[in-house]
């Protein structure tokens, strides 16, 4: 009886849905980045309107390991504004491409956010005291007559309601000719990289007026261009190592110790193409949309259009694990090409202990792969199927027509509803992911 | 708004209780929390005035607690505050109470902004000397411990800079604690703290007893020098240099050299770069024996490093390294070990390496003497003079004086000339500008004959360069040449050519004549100016181009002081008066300006910026500040930087230009 109920059910349950539940979605509200802070206490989302919303985990739920993961709005601010580049007659969107948290250095929190051209460093800090007492005016601003001044008053800090402030600390501009697709903070805590289509630059967090070019794949003649950089990340532990993925499906690992300019990679991770499945779309679907090191630093995960691959950094020839995210779409590539879905850039993420990985799909489905048990689930981000606290139903996509309640036919998938951005709490069994304009937070129930 | 600008108030007024004396202080205190950052900053910078008015008691009990909580402010305010507090001892009641300053500085030492933290640490170090030995143990040392064991790495990094100031003045038990704390920080989890510890290691070693340097510091140094983070290892190099100066010669080989040798061969080029960069210091620290045995081969390796950045850093040190070699074997070492590497660097693939070498290579000639220079170095100089990269050639030319002393410049002049001529005609105007700046120096070394024969024509050609900055530098160059060769030389060689340009069909060249006259009149003296230059200026007052005419007015104003008063009244004034009734408003203006003798041209500078638009001549004479020429694929855009133009009249011009240049985009 109990066993039967567990069939088709995961241990994951909906915790919260953020954002308006409305079919009419404003362009600016579309979420474009989701990222947990290093402690998991804060969760940041960025949107196409250039805004960043930060959620904070409720104190009570943090202290109870079994409690629900409740995140509430902590701070909202406008990170980027639309701009116009007059020299190139180019509009620069305010859309947030990536958010990366810095390791915490004092009571305040810091994050890097980027649009296509400019990276910014933001400080999010709390203030619970304010000075009181003026000499020449009342607290409400009315002026006091100077003749009433008989003694000097020094202001005193008094407690006040908690105020959260977000202030821009640095603006790292004018270093990218192409669109920035990745930023990644180095484990030395003082530098970070920013990657665009053809170049990767290295910045010191304290200096906005200079950056060093560490990778440049721009050919002398742009007509010879065959490959672009699509994602890049620093190794979590080795300060000298970073990787970048390309539109051709290969990942290069570079060692900054070897030389100042890392055009020569030290490792190339590439899987030979299977000639039997070669088609017009082969190159498009092999493009790397995300690359993430495992927390341990031993493995690296890459996401291309159809699969998720896990590589051992010691083996370049082929991935140690390959997971089909939505293999059933292979027959649909033609129509996905026509509606541009084939160019969607899905992100992927590791569980805190590296035992599981997660990535998004269409129809608001997301996939989780248990690496040890070789088990995978398809779950749906939806507020209709169950109230908060309920276990999520697992889905199966079948090629033909639907037979069971937990099955859905490929033709019934809604390609406009997709989960591109996902983030896993660094320690706990909590995941956050973005559908078009909603942020979903799920939590795993203990057995 | 009460933005009263307050003068410093002397201590005498502090006790007065009349409203009048309190008012300015009240304003200052209120502005400590003004919304305008600038006003807060002003108040913080006058903190001593506030403290004086409050007296020491209230400063301690009210002002300092307030400042301790003021850590949410802008960086610049916090920076000013941290600096002020370093000089606050007398204002809180003297050394007896100096520990009251610790709480605000402690909170400043934990903020995230590095400059603020560093300043707070600097102030803490300063006031540590004002603590009595007892206070140091009761108040200061506990603060260092608190910072060193703080939750956030910001406070722990700040602690690293404070150990060395309290260590010498505390009891031996506390000393042991301090050493323990420093050890802990050297193996901190975060690289930030390890970096801070590594950068302060040398300084801390200096205040430690020698036995502890050997027992503690060496192991810390070894650990930091093999840290997993490149950024920590490279800081350990500098610490190693400081430690080496502290140890007796016999211990160096065993305790420091293995680690330093390892650093010179580190996998990371940044660490090797650091070794190259600190090589001279290292050489001085380890002494002649180790230099001969260890550093020479290490230096050779750095000069041959696979990373260009490292080679460039090492190349920069070639001269200093050779200079500091032990005298008895200097020449042999250079000739057999260093020179072969240097020869390779002359034809390096990287131009930064070559230009770094070119900036020091000439210095070797004084070390090696005449014969070796002629035999071995001269071919290298000559090769570098022909280098494809102009920076290399420039660096050689700019250091010619070193060679001049040893072998005389004649040896070089045959190769020098083509190199100079080529640089003088380089397509990049910045290169031409750089070579012009060396002309007076070269002229001095080559002598007037050689100059007249070979270089004079170049100097004249620059006067008609198509870039204004070059023409401007060329006029300045003429002035310096005249200072060197004298007025008589000027009259015979330069002045006729300059004045000849007054008849040039190009108005820009005619204006150059005027600019030259401005520059030359003083060095040439009254006679030449009155006899030769003035008539030409007068003639140009009838020029058809208004730009020339108003520059005549400006020139007359400039050369006025050189002329005698009779000439001014009878000749210059009538010309200016005629110009003052010119039909062009700018000519009128400058003429009047010259007559009245006032020279406040700020307003007119702006008008000048607009002026060429109406005349439709967008030439580079018009202040580069106002126009920026931008090249795009399709077209050349002329763009006005609006702030340099007056708001009202420029609006239409600005839009017109924008439309013109951006076309369809508007």
Who wins on pLDDT, B547 or A35? Answer: A35
Q: What are the structure tokens assigned to A201, written together?
A: 């630059």
Tokens standing for A302?
A: 């890459």
Q: In chain B, what residues touch A150 (CB-CB under 8 Å)? A: 17, 19, 22
Contact B112 A239 (CB under 8 A): no
Pull the structure tokens for residue A41: 């206490």
The stretches in chain A having pLDDT less than 70 are 1-9, 60-68, 385-387, 401-402, 447
CA distance B175 to chain A (A): 28
Token output for A267? 């490792």
Chains A–B, number of C-beta pairs less than 8 Å apart = 124
Tell me the residues of chain B between 89 and 148 that have a Cβ less than 8 Å away from chain A.
Answer: 110-112, 114
Q: What is the predicted pLDDT for the residue at B605?
A: 34
Nearest CB to B23; choose among A108, A137, A149: A149
Q: Considering the entire predicted model, what is its pTM?
A: 0.79
Instruction: Please give the residue of chain B at the shortest CA–CA distance from A135.
Output: B26
Residue from B92, B84, B23 nearest B55 by CA: B92
Secondary-structure percent of chain B, ordered helix, strand, coil, rounded to 5: 80, 0, 20
Interface test with B, best of A240, A266, A297 (most B CBs within 10 A): A240
In which element (H, E) is residue A158 found?
A: strand A156-172
| Closest alpha carbon within chain A to B636 | A87
Q: How far is A124 from chain B (nearest CA, A)?
A: 11
> Nearest to residue A88, comparing CAs of A174, A162, A30, A158?
A174
Residue B434 has pLDDT above 50, yes or no: yes
Nearest Cα of chain A lies from the Cα of B628 at a distance, in angstroms, of 12
Interface test with A, best of B26, B27, B107, B117 (most A CBs within 10 A): B26
Q: Percentage of residues in chain B with pLDDT exceeding 70?
A: 86
- What is the Cα–Cα distance from B531 to B529, expressed in whole angstroms? 6
pLDDT of amino acid B586: 85
Q: Which of residues 50-69 of B touch A (CB under 8 A)?
A: 53-54, 58, 62-63, 65-66, 69
User: CA-to-CA distance for B30 and B217, rounded, in angstroms?
Assistant: 50
More confidently predicted of B422 and B19: B422
Chain A residues with CB under 8 Å of B267 CB are 257-258
For residue A155, give the nearest of B66, B306, B630 by CB distance. Answer: B66
CA–CA min distance A401, chain B (Å): 53
Q: Which residues in chain A are contacts of B110 at CB distance < 8 A?
A: 106
- Closest chain B CA to residue A159: B69
The model's confidence at residue B4, banded by pLDDT at 50, 70 and 90, is very low
Instruction: Judge: B154–A125 Cβ closer than 8 Å, yes or no.
Output: no
Q: Which of 306-335 (B) contact A at CB < 8 A?
A: 306-309
The reply to whether B226 touches chain A by the CB within 8 Å rule is no
Which chain A residues are Cβ-neighbours of B54 within 8 angstroms? 152, 154
Determine, for residues A136 and B30 on separate chains, whether the beta-carbon distance falls below 8 Å. Answer: yes
Return the higher-pLDDT residue of B662 and B132.
Answer: B132
* Cβ contact A155–B53 (<8 Å): no
Whole-number Å distance between alpha carbons of A48 and A150: 56
Does the beta carbon of B655 lie under 8 angstroms from any beta carbon of chain A?
A: no
* Nearest CA distance, A110 vs chain B (angstrom): 10
Pairwise CA distance, residues A366 & A431, whole Å: 11
> Measured between alpha carbons, how far is B168 from B284 in angstroms, rounded to an integer?
26
Residue B19 has pLDDT above 60, yes or no: no
To test the contact with chain A by mutation, choose from B49, B66, B158 the residue with the greatest count of A C-beta atoms within 10 A, namely B66
Residues facing A31 on adjacent strands: A47
The shortest CB-CB distance from A106 to any of B17, B22, B111 is to B111
Ramachandran category for residue B573: left, alpha or beta (phi over 0 → left; psi -120 to 50 → alpha): alpha
Given a cut of 90, is residue B504 above it in pLDDT? no
Residue A101 is encoded by which pair of tokens? 């948290």
CB < 8 Å to A87, chain B? 630, 632
> Residue B266: its chain A contacts at CB < 8 A?
257
Quote the minimal CA–CA distance from A94 to chain B in Å: 20
Residue in the structure block whose two tokens are 């160019």? A343
Angle between helices B269-277 and B257-264 in degrees, nearest 10: 120
Asked if the Cβ–Cβ distance from B69 to A129 is below 8 Å, we say yes
Q: Which B residues 375-404 touch A at CB under 8 Å?
A: none
Q: How far apart are CA A353 and CA B317, in angstroms?
A: 50
SS3 state of residue B23: helix
| pLDDT at B614 > cutoff 50 | no
* pLDDT 10s digits, B334-364: 999 999 999 999 999 999 999 999 999 989 9
- Predicted confidence (pLDDT) at residue B479 exceeds the cutoff of 60: yes
pLDDT at B71 over 90: no
Mean pLDDT computed over B21-38 = 88
Nearest residue in B to A129, CA atom? B69
Cβ A364 vs Cβ A381: under 8 Å: yes
**Residues B320-332 pLDDT 10s:** 999 999 999 999 9
Q: Per 3-state DSSP, what percentage of chain A is helix, strand, and coil (rounded to 5)?
A: 10, 45, 45
Nearest CA in chain B to A170: B113
Residue B153 is nearest to which of A105, A131, A240, comparing CB atoms? A105
| B364-372 vs B400-407: helix crossing angle, rounded to 10 | 30
Where is pLDDT greater, at B316 or B404? B316
The reported pLDDT for the residue numbered B506 is 87
Interface membership of B14 toward A (CB under 8 Å): no
Of A147, A237, A259, the CB nearest to B307: A259
pLDDT per position as a tens digit, B85-142? 999 999 999 999 999 999 999 999 999 999 999 999 999 999 999 999 999 999 999 9
Find the CB nearest B33 among A88, A131, A206.
A131
Of B345, B339, B375, the residue nearest B358 (C-alpha): B345
Answer whether B267 sits within 8 Å of A147, measured CB to CB: no
β-pairing, A396-398 vs A182-185, is unpaired
Q: Do A259 and B306 touch (CB under 8 A)?
A: yes
Q: What is the chain A residue with the closest CA to B232?
A: A188
pLDDT of residue A133: 85
Highest mean pLDDT among A388-392, B417-421, B471-475: B471-475
Between CA A283 and CA A265 the distance in angstroms is 21
Q: Residue A397's Cα: distance from chain center in Å?
A: 26
Candidates B114, B118, B198, B269, partner chain A, best to mutate (most A CBs within 10 A):
B269
Structure confidence by residue, pLDDT tens digits, B234-275: 999 999 999 999 999 989 999 999 999 999 999 999 999 999
* CA distances in angstroms from B64 to B84, B87, B99, B615, listed in the order given: 12, 14, 11, 64
B602, pLDDT greater than 70: no
B629: closest chain A residue by CA: A87
Instruction: Write the CA distances from A215 to A178, A218, A286, B440, integer angstroms.
Output: 13, 9, 22, 43
Query: So what's the pLDDT on residue A9?
Result: 66
CB contact under 8 A, A258 and B53: no
Strands A267-269 and A290-293, how do they pair? unpaired
B268 chain-A contacts, CB cut-off 8 A: 240, 256-257
Q: Please indicate whether residue B500 or residue A202 has the higher confidence score (pLDDT).
A: A202
Nearest chain B CA: its distance from A122 CA (Å)? 12
Structure tokens at B539: 């003639």
Asked if the model's pLDDT at residue B651 lies above 70, the reply is: no
CA torsion, points B575, B578, B582, B586, in degrees to nearest 10?
Answer: 40
pLDDT at A317: 93
Kindly list the residues from chain A whose CB atom is less than 8 angstroms away from the CB atom of residue B72: 125, 127, 165
A contacts of B192 (beta carbons < 8 Å):
105, 189-190
Question: Whole-angstrom Cα distance, residue A367 to residue B276?
Answer: 52
Tokens of A393: 């139903």
Contact residues for B464 (Cβ-Cβ < 8 A; gap 6+): B471, B501, B504, B506, B509, B512
**Residue B344 pLDDT:** 94
Preferred mutation among A189, A203, A236, A241 to probe B, highest tally of B CBs within 10 A: A189
| Cβ proximity of A96 and A33 under 8 Å | yes
Query: Could you give the ipTM of this predicted complex?
Result: 0.87
Contacts of A129 in chain B (CB under 8 A): 69
Is B644's pLDDT higher than 50? no
Q: Give how far A337 is from chain B: nearest CA, Å.
A: 32
């Amino acid at each position: 009886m109990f066993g039967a109920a567990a069939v088709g059910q995961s241990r994951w349950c909906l915790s919260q849905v953020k954002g308006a539940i409305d079919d009419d979605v404003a362009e600016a509200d579309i979420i474009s980045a989701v990222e947990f802070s290093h402690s998991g206490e804060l969760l940041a989302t960025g949107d196409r309107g250039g805004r960043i919303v930060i959620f904070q985990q409720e104190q009570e739920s943090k202290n109870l390991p079994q409690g629900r993961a409740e995140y509430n709005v902590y701070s909202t601010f406008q990170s980027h504004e639309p701009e116009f580049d007059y020299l190139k007659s180019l509009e620069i969107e305010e859309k947030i491409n990536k958010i990366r948290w810095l390791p915490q250095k004092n009571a305040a929190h810091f994050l890097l956010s980027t649009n296509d051209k400019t990276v910014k460093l933001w400080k999010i800090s709390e203030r619970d005291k304010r000075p009181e007492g003026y000499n020449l005016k009342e607290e409400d601003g009315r002026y006091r007559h100077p003749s009433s001044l008989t003694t000097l008053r020094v202001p005193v800090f008094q407690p006040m309601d908690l105020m959260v402030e977000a202030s821009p600390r640095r603006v790292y501009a004018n270093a990218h000719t192409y669109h920035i697709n990745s930023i990644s903070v180095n484990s030395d805590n003082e530098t970070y990289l920013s990657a665009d289509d053809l170049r990767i630059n290295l910045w010191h967090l304290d200096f906005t007026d200079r950056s060093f070019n560490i990778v440049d794949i721009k050919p002398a003649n742009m007509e010879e261009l065959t490959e672009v950089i699509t994602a890049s990340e620093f190794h979590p532990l080795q300060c000298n190592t970073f990787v970048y993925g390309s539109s051709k499906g290969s990942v290069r690992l570079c060692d900054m110790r070897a030389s100042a300019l890392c055009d020569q990679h030290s490792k190339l991770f590439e899987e030979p193409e299977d000639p039997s499945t070669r088609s017009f779309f082969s190159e498009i679907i092999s493009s790397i949309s995300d690359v993430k090191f495992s927390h341990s630093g031993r493995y690296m995960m890459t996401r291309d259009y159809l699969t998720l691959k896990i590589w051992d950094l010691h083996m370049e020839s082929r991935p140690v694990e390959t997971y089909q995210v939505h293999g059933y779409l292979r027959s649909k590539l033609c129509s996905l090409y026509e509606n541009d879905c084939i160019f969607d850039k899905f992100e992927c993420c590791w569980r805190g202990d590296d035992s599981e990985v997660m990535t998004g799909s269409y129809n608001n489905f997301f996939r989780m792969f248990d690496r040890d048990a070789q088990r995978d689930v398809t779950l749906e981000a939806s507020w209709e199927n169950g109230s908060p606290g309920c276990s999520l139903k697992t889905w199966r996509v079948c090629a033909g027509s639907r037979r069971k309640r937990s099955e859905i036919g490929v033709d019934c998938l809604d390609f406009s509803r997709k989960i591109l951005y996902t983030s896993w709490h660094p320690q706990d069994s909590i995941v956050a992911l973005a559908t078009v304009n909603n942020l979903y937070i799920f939590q795993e129930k203990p057995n | 708004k009460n933005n009263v600008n307050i003068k410093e108030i002397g201590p005498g007024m502090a006790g007065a209780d009349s409203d009048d004396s309190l008012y300015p202080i009240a304003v200052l205190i209120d502005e400590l929390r003004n919304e305008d950052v600038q006003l807060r900053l002003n108040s913080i910078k006058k903190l001593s005035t506030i403290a004086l008015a409050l007296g020491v008691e209230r400063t301690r009990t009210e002002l300092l607690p307030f400042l301790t909580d003021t850590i949410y402010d802008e960086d610049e305010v916090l920076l000013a505050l941290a600096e002020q507090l370093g000089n606050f001892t007398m204002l809180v009641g003297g050394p007896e109470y100096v520990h009251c300053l610790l709480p605000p500085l402690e909170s400043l030492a934990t903020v995230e902004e590095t400059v603020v933290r560093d300043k707070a640490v600097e102030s803490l170090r300063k006031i540590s000397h004002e603590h009595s030995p007892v206070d140091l143990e009761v108040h200061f040392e506990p603060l260092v411990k608190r910072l060193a064991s703080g939750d956030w790495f910001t406070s722990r990094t700040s602690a690293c800079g404070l150990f060395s100031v309290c260590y010498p003045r505390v009891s031996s038990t506390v000393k042991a604690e301090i050493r323990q704390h420093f050890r802990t920080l050297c193996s901190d989890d975060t690289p930030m703290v390890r970096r801070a510890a590594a950068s302060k290691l040398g300084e801390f070693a200096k205040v430690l007893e020698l036995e502890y340097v050997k027992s503690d510091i060496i192991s810390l140094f070894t650990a930091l020098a093999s840290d997993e983070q490149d950024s920590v290892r490279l800081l350990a190099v500098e610490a190693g240099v400081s430690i080496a100066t502290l140890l007796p010669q016999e211990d160096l080989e065993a305790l420091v050299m293995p680690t330093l040798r390892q650093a010179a061969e580190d996998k990371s080029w940044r660490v090797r770069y650091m070794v190259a960069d600190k090589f001279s210091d290292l050489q001085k620290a380890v002494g002649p024996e180790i230099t001969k045995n260890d550093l020479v081969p290490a230096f050779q390796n750095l000069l041959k490093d696979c990373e260009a950045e490292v080679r460039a850093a090492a190349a920069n040190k070639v001269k200093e390294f050779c200079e500091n070699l032990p005298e008895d074997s200097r020449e042999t070492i250079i000739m057999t070990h260093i020179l072969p590497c240097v020869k390779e660097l002359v034809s390096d693939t990287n131009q930064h390496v070559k230009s770094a070498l070119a900036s020091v290579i000439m210095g070797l000639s004084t070390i090696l003497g005449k014969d070796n220079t002629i035999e071995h170095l001269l071919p290298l100089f000559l090769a570098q003079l022909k280098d494809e990269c102009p920076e290399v050639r420039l660096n050689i030319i700019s250091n010619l004086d070193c060679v001049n002393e040893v072998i005389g410049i004649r040896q070089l002049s045959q190769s020098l000339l083509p190199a100079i001529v080529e640089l003088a005609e380089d397509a990049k105007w910045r290169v031409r500008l750089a070579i012009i700046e060396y002309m007076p120096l070269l002229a001095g070394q080559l002598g007037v004959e050689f100059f007249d024969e070979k270089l004079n024509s170049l100097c004249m050609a620059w006067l008609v360069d198509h870039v204004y900055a070059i023409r401007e530098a060329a006029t300045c160059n003429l002035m310096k040449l005249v200072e060197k060769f004298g007025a008589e030389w000027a009259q015979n060689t330069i002045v006729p050519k300059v004045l000849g340009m007054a008849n040039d069909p190009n108005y820009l060249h005619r204006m150059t004549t005027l600019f030259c006259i401005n520059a030359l009149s003083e060095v040439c003296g009254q006679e030449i100016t009155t006899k030769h230059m003035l008539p030409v200026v007068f003639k140009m007052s009838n020029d058809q181009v208004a730009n020339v005419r108003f520059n005549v007015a400006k020139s007359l104003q400039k050369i006025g002081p050189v002329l005698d008063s009779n000439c001014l009244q009878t000749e210059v004034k009538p010309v200016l008066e005629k110009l003052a009734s010119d039909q062009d408003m700018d000519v009128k203006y400058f003429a009047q300006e010259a007559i009245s003798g006032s020279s406040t041209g700020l307003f007119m500078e702006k008008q000048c910026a607009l002026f060429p638009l109406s005349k439709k001549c967008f030439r580079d004479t018009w202040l580069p500040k106002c126009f920026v020429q931008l090249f795009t694929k399709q077209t050349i855009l002329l763009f006005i930087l609006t702030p340099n133009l007056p708001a009202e009249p420029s609006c239409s011009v600005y839009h017109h230009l924008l439309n013109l240049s951006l076309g369809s985009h508007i």
